[in-house]
Structures are given as C-alpha cells and as structure tokens.
Chains A and B, each alone.
Chain A
Amino acid sequence: MQSFKSPPSWALRILHGICPQDLIEEVEGDLYEAFQWRSSEKGVSYAKRHYVYEVIRCLRYLKFNIPFKQNSSIMLINNYLKTGFRFLWKTKGYSSLNIIGLATGIAVCWLAYVFVSDEYSYDRFQTNADNLYRITASVSFEDQTDNFAGSSYLMGEEFNNRIPGIKASSRFKSGLGLITIGTESFNQAIRYADPEFFEMFDIDFVQGSQGDFTNPLNSVISESTAERLGITDLDETSEFEIQLGSQVTFQVTGIFKDYPTNSSIRPSIIVPFNFWKTLVPERRLTTWFDINMNTFLLLDGDPESVQERMTEILRENADFGEAQVTMGLQALTQIHMDQDLGTGNGIGASADGQLVTTVTVIGLLCLLIACMNYSNFAIGNYLSRIREVAVRKIFGAQKKLVFQQFVVETFISAFLALILAIAIMALILPTFSEYANKSYTLETIFGIRFLWGGLILLVLVTFLAGVYPAFVISRYAIVSSLRGRESKGGKAFFAKALVVVQFTMAVFLITGMITVNKQLNYLINFDIGYEYDNVISILYGEQDQNRIDKFKNDLLKIPAIQQVAISSPYNGTNLDMDENTSIDVSHVRVDPDYLSMYNIPILNGRDFDKNISSDFSDAIIINKTLADMLGMDDPVGQRIPFDYGDLDNPMIIGVVSDYHYSSLHSPVEPLVMYMSPEYIMVFHNMKVNSFSPEVVNQIEDVWNANFAPQPFDFSLLEDNIADQYELEASIKKLSQSGAAIAIVLSCLGLMGVVGTQVRRRLKEVSIRKVVGAAPSQILALFSLRYVGLVILGFVFGLIITVFFLNKWLADYTNRIDFTWDIGAVSVLVVLVISALTIASQLYRAMFMNPVTYLKED
C-alpha cells in the first residue's frame, strides 16, 4: 500500500472557506491528487508551497458566471458587511464621530510605530548585520569605570592578524577638509576606511568600484556628493581637491548610492586609511592604547572569545599600572539604541531613549483611549439593535455567529478609520518630524514596514475595540431582547471603568506635559553664573597664535564689539594630588578677557593679566568646587600639580564662582583655567552692543580678510545654550500635542457615555420635567453620577504621575520639585473640559419638550 502525504491542514480549511459548495469535491480531490504527484516529483516542500498557492488561486472561482450555490459562510460575511454599512449609514452622526476618534488614535499610534520601528531598524539592512561588531574598551580604576567606544590604529591592525575568529576588520574615522569649487568654499566631512570596509558593509556602486583602495590617493564618493562636486560621468580625470593639512587631490574611482537614513554610517566621501597614516606622527601608529577611531570587525567566531583574546593581547603589550583595561565588542545593530557608549567618528548620533519612550507611551495611550471610546459608543448604539440580534438568534444564529457579526462590524469601522488615519497622518507628519528631529515625508515612510504597522493596528484595534461589545451583545437573552428590555449591571460597570481609566490617562498626560514644560523653562531660565546674551560665537580651530591675535585686534576695531574672548573647548584630565588622591578636573584655555567678558565673579585672588608674562606660563584659576575639594585654607598663591602640557606645578592666582560651563544635566565639575598654549583655540566669541545684520557683515569682512577661503559661519551663544535642552524641547512639544489629542479623545468618550445614558433615560427625564423638575436639577441628576468616577480617575492619574515623573526628574541635578499645584492645574483643566462635555450632551435633556418622548408608547 502506497502511503499518502497530507497537505497542510490549515490550507485545506481555507479552501473550504473560499470554495463554492458545488465545486468543493472536485477541487479538493484534484488538489490532493496534484499534491501527491508534485511531492513525488519535486519533493514535499515544493508540493506544499504549490498547494497553498493553488488554494489561494481558488478565489477565482468566486467570479464564475455559471450559476452555483453560494458558500454559506461567504453569504454570511456579505450579509454582515451589508448590515454593518447600513447601520453606519443610519447613525451617520455618531458613527462618523466614532470613526474620526478611532482614526485619530490610529494615526497617532501609527506615527509612533513608524518612529519607533525606524529607530530600531537602524543598520539591520546590512547583509552582515548579525556578524558586524565595533571594538569598545573600558578602563576601571578603583571603583570608577569609564567606557570608550573606539580603538587605536594598532588594534585595527593587529587583532585581525592574531585572532582567528575575526574574518575581516576595517578602521573607520571621520575627518573634515575644506573644498573650494570656483569662488565658493565649504567644509566637507570625509571618512577614512580600510579596503576591507567594502567587503564588510553593503555598498551599492552606481559607477566604478572601490578600485585599489590601498592607494592613498584613491577615493569613492556618494551620489549626492558627486552631484555637489560636479562629477557626472566617471573617468580617469574625475578627481577633487581638498584641504587636509595641505592641498590633496584624490582620484575618484567609484560613485555609490547614498546610505539610507536608518544607517549609523552615512559616508559622503571615503578615502583610504593609508592616507590618514601620512597625516599623523609615527607614534600614533604604534601606540596600543590611543583611542581615537572606530574599528569594525566581521566575525565568524564567538564574540565572547574574541573579546577575551583582544583583552589578553592588549595586556601583553601595554602596561596600565593599577588600572584594569578590558576590551569589548558592540554589535552594529546595537549602536543606535545604546546610549551608554559614545558615537561620533563617523557614526551618527544614537537614538534618544527618553524620546522613544515618550513617543511609545503617547502612541499607545491614544490608541487605547480611542479603542475604549469605540467600545463604549458601540455598546451604546448596539442597544438599539438587540431586536435584530434576537431575530437572528431565532433563525438559528448561535452566540458565536452574532459575536462574529459584531467583530466584523468593528473591522469595517477600523478599516475606514485606518484609511482616514492616513489622511490625518499626512496632516500631522510635518509637525511630528520637526518635533522628533527627523526628515519624514509620507513618501519616505511609505513602505513595507509602514504597511505592516497598519495591518498590526487593524488587527489590534478590531480586537481591542470589538471583542467586548460583541461579547456583550451576543450574550443577551432572546426573550428580553425582543421585549426591548435591557440587562444592565455588566454594561454600566464597563462604561464606568472606562471613564475612570480615561481620566487616569488624561490626568497623567496633562500633568506630565506641565511638568516637562516647567522643567524646561526652569533649565532655560536658570542663572548659569555668567552672561551670555549678545555674544556671537564663531567656531574655528586655529593653531597659529599670531593669526588669532590679529583676528582679535581687527575685531576690536569694529565699534559695535565690546569685547572678544577666544578659548578652547572644555576638556577633562586627572589631577594627581599625591599617590592616593586623583581628582577628575575639567580644564580650558582662555585669554585675558575671558572672565571679564562673561562677567564671571572672582571670589578670591585676581583675574589673568596680559601684562604679567608668568600668567601665560605658570598661572591657573580654579573654580570654587575645586577649591573646596582641595581643602586649602587660602588656595590663592598655592601651587598644585596640574602638569598639563607645559604647565609644571602652576600657581593658583584666583578662584571663580561655580558657573555652569556645561549643561545643567550634571553638577558643576572642578575646573582649571589657564592661558599657556597647550590646547587649540576654537571658540572666537565676541560681545556686541546689540545683534544686527550690519554687525554680522562687518565681522564677516574681518573674517574674510583673515581666514579666507574658510567659510564664515556664526551662531549666537544663547542659541547654543538653548540647544543643550533640545531633547527636553522635543519631549515638551510632543507631550503637548499628545496630551491635547488624548484630552479630545477622552472627551469624545465621555460624550459617548453621557449621550447614551441621556438617550436611554429620555422618558424618565420627560416625566421628571412634567412633574416640575428644573433644568438645573436634571443637570445635577446626571453629572453627579460621574463625579465619583472622575475623582477616582484623578486619584489614579496623580498616583501614576507622581511615580513616573519623580523618576524622570531624578536624572536632573538641577530640577524643579513636583508640587501639588501642577496636579491641581491638570485636575482643574480636565474638570472644566469634562464638565463642558457633559453639559453639551445634557443640553438636549434639559431643554427638550417632554411631550416628544412621552407620546411614543
């Protein structure tokens, strides 16, 4: 006896669902036989695939013109759709309100999905995504651990040769050079990479290829860069000139497609690492622990053992004294979502966890509120349909079928809402992408991920919003439904619970919004200890002291400029007081006008003086925090071992107050200021009488006279300081919009609940009015029912808010306290809005003519 394999049973069930009754026997038999034939010829899995395909193809029988008995379940679904649409049409007002609410919730959640899934999709498009890693290092000293994302040149060279689990490795580093085209100059970011880069990462060449990437003067550029550089057709003469230390001409051997936005690496120009080698002193190529670049590894072995081997090799070759140095690996796909390890050096900024969380919470809450509204509306409306249900039941429909019917109806509404949601998304997308710092347009987000999101939402909404009402309706007993009597208990309880939950969410969102707002204002208006208004800042690194001095003198000739102070960036180092004590200090190189321009108060001692020559080589000023940590009675005149660069046990000549030189997210760190030329000057800041385009033009002229062809670019210091709180600003805007939408949706829900109640009790109200009840009494009758629920919602909402917001605020060193007035304001807002909503629904009941509703029976 020959054994028969069986086709997938789920496909068979689908076949029974879609195939007309009079064809089913023939079709099922034929497909079964064909399945046996194909599995004997080309294998079972092929046959299975084909079977499923053929089952789907059976849909075409439905288009037959020849008469056949209809499949009963298809007829039923047709009937559900028909009654569903009829009912929607009959209750146009409520239904459209309902669907708009649902659509808003879906739109917000869909956007949130697009954003969050985009953040999580970073770098996953790379073919080798699962096996690509970046080298990291961590240094522990005593109880302090610092993590670095990066490696040295030598690590990128040696690990690959010595560790078997590494298949390929490529260093990756960023650089900046000046490109001049015609009369225009601009700063162009470039990336250095090794030849293996092209094997490890996906790169799509439109023209040419990477060629011989060991040749230091070859390069590949992206399509958009090629356009900018005016390179259209690639040939031997395609090249560009760039100022990287000196003028260099690179031959272009390939043009590649720009990387998508969800990529951590988005190079525009890639030049070989062999070129970088020629720029730096020999020492940097042979030092083991000089972390200043990224190294990517393509592994074919176990990451754990590679990490161990890397640590071993490093410890064999370099001496770290007391410190424990460990090498690590970070998966490429983790880079974007990991906020602990730094980015930069060619790797795009990582996602912000807080922003992702905020967007997720807002999206889910809006969807939840919208679904609850729908359920509530649905139950209210369906009560007018229990007679229909009863008739269906009498004709033999089981509970299951009635349940199905109402789920199908929810599906119709959800589907219509989904289409409407796309329109709403198109409306709010520009605002959203501005708030979230993304460049989304409907075209860029439209894709397979977008459609999946829609599909998931459709199912989710149908389930969340549809199951409960369908369950309630299908449970009604036939006889009492036919009489038009309603069973009450369960339904009222559900509606009440919904009101409570919605108010909890609304209070949570509003309180959250007010708190974020307040915290942001607090940060922006915080007295940071120095004057920064009317300060124009030019960012430009210059080594040559003579040029800096000349630029400064020329600037001071402009009458509108009061003072100029040129300084380095703030950096960090260790101050080793003795063998056991080491203090992490920040330090900055300043010029003599720094303290006076920013009006930083000197608590003790004196300012730098340009007439005292030792101030340029042997003097430092410290801040109060450092003075306190040093614990000296009178620090001025003392010497401390701050041996940075050429400084050798310099003397403290002054103590300044603790001004906030970095953002308020962290407390003021100990600080050393000096004038000796250890560090490159970058910030050319000037205080002007008032900011005006004329002043900027004058500054630009001075700039061009000194530094042409470098492009002139400036910013206002106040803007730069405000930018430190960009994230808070984003969260503030998003939470404001989210809270507003949530409130509107909650009000819709409340309207639904109250409206239903009013409609069901119109007769009772009429009688009350006939016997003399005043409109105000009617108002009290209804609204008092909700006072308890609303208060309960407030209490829950406030508890949740206090819990989450205190946690959020705890991350800030300088923060507002969560006070009850924030809670009170939000409660008040919600109360007023909800009272208005209730009143709008009660208006009809309060002022109706009782006769209208009494004469019905």
Chain B
Amino acid sequence: MSEFSIGTLEETVLIILLMKEESHSVEVAQVYEKHVGQTISIPAIHVVLKRLEKKGLVKSRMGDPTPERGGKRKKIYQGTPQGYKVASDIQERRQQMWSEVPKPSLNYAII
C-alpha cells in the first residue's frame, strides 16, 4: 500500500473525478447515483473532496457564477497525476487479488 490510506467512498469519488477532465460536486453526485444506485448527500461529497484535496489527490479552482446555481460560483475539482496513480494502483492490486480467487466450481454449489 502506498502512503495514502483511502476509504471506499474516497476511492469511488476519485474514480468519478478521473472519468472526466473536471467536474464539481453536483456532477459527482449525479454520476455516483447513476453508477452506485444510491442517493448521496452533497455535504458528504464535499467532505470527501476536501479530504482528497488535503491528500493531494485532487486539486480545485473556482468557476464562474451561473443562474442554475442561484448566482453563486462553483468550485471545480480535477484529479491530479498523483490521484490517478493511487487509483490505478488500487485497481491493479484488486485485480491481482481477484485473479487468485478460484472460479466457481461444484464445491460452491454443494455448500
């Protein structure tokens, strides 16, 4: 494991951020709900994003105000190369582990 300890939700959000060039938290929530099938609250995503930012896995900048945000500026997040590396490490390691799980066989069927 690298020096980053990273939780499941953090990992999911990080992957979602890496899907696109950049996105803000509402987009993250939409993608999350589409893929995971559960609702998530915006503050939960904020907390995760701040944590990731503190770990240096994502970076952010302020965007422009738009009417659908009630005239407020949005904060846009973007995955860093560091973030990409951590995420792909995790996927690889997981793949590695999964490959050692035997294929379903008659043994399982009997249980």
Contacts and interface: CB of A to CB of B under 8 A. Distances in A.
Interface of A: 2, 4, 6, 23, 25-34, 36-37, 50, 53-54, 57-58, 60-61, 64-66
Contacts of A31: 42
Given A54-B41, A57-B41, A66-B54, A30 B67 contact: no
B69 interface: yes
Interface stretch (B3-11, B24-32, B85-93): B24-32
Closest 6 CB pairs of A and B: A29-B72, A29-B69, A57-B43, A32-B70, A26-B75, A33-B26
18 contacts: A23-B46, A26-B75, A27-B42, A28-B70, A29-B65, A29-B70, A29-B74, A30-B75, A32-B72, A33-B70, A33-B74, A34-B29, A54-B41, A54-B42, A57-B41, A60-B47, A64-B50, A66-B54
Contact of B42 (A25, A30, A36, A65): A30
Contacts of B50: 64, 66
- Among A4, A6, A33, max chain B CB count under 10 A is at A33
A37 B30 contact: yes
Contacts, number: 71
Nearest to B33: A41
Interface string B69-106: 11011110000000000000000000000000000000
Nearest to B45: A30
B44 interface: yes
Contact of B26 (A2, A4, A30): A30
B110 to A, nearest CB: 36
A54 B68 contact: no
Contacts of A32: 68-70, 72
Contacts of B43: 27, 54, 57-58, 60-61
- Among A23, A29, A58, A60, max chain B CB count under 10 A is at A29
A421 to B, nearest CB: 35
B46 A27 contact: yes
B25 A30 contact: yes
B63 to A, nearest CB: 9
Nearest to A57: B43
Nearest to B24: A30
A26 B43 CA distance: 11
A222 B12 CA distance: 53
Nearest to A7: B70
A23 B73 CA distance: 11
Nearest to A65: B54
Contacts of B68: 2, 4, 32-33, 36
A54 B46 CA distance: 11
Given A30-B24, A37-B30, A66-B50, A4 B41 contact: no
Given A26-B73, A32-B69, A54-B42, 7 more contacts: A29-B70, A29-B72, A30-B24, A33-B74, A57-B41, A57-B44, A61-B47
A25 B72 contact: yes
Contacts of B41: 50, 53-54, 57
Contacts of B75: 26, 30
A61 B46 contact: yes
B46 A4 contact: no
B30 to A, nearest CB: 7
A37 B26 contact: yes
Given A26-B75, A57-B41, A33 B46 contact: no
Contacts of B65: 29
Nearest to B60: A26
Contacts of A64: 47, 50
B61 to A, nearest CB: 11
B72 to A, nearest CB: 3
A26 B42 contact: no
A26 B45 CA distance: 12
B64 to A, nearest CB: 11
Contact of B73 (A25, A34, A57, A58): A25
B17 to A, nearest CB: 15
Nearest to B72: A29
A25 B64 CA distance: 12
A838 B62 CA distance: 68
A60 B62 CA distance: 22
B44 A30 contact: no
Interface in B31-53: 39, 41-44, 46-47, 50
A28 B70 CA distance: 8
B20 to A, nearest CB: 16
Contacts of B74: 26, 29-30, 33
A423 B59 CA distance: 53
Contacts of B47: 60-61, 64
Contacts of A65: 54
Contacts of B70: 4, 6, 28-29, 32-33
A27 B75 CA distance: 9
Given A57-B43, A58-B43, A28 B29 contact: no
A63 to B, nearest CB: 9
A33 B26 CA distance: 7
Contacts of B44: 57
A826 B12 CA distance: 76
A32 B71 CA distance: 10
A815 B41 CA distance: 69
A23 to B, nearest CB: 7
- Among B41, B54, B62, B73, max chain A CB count under 10 A is at B41
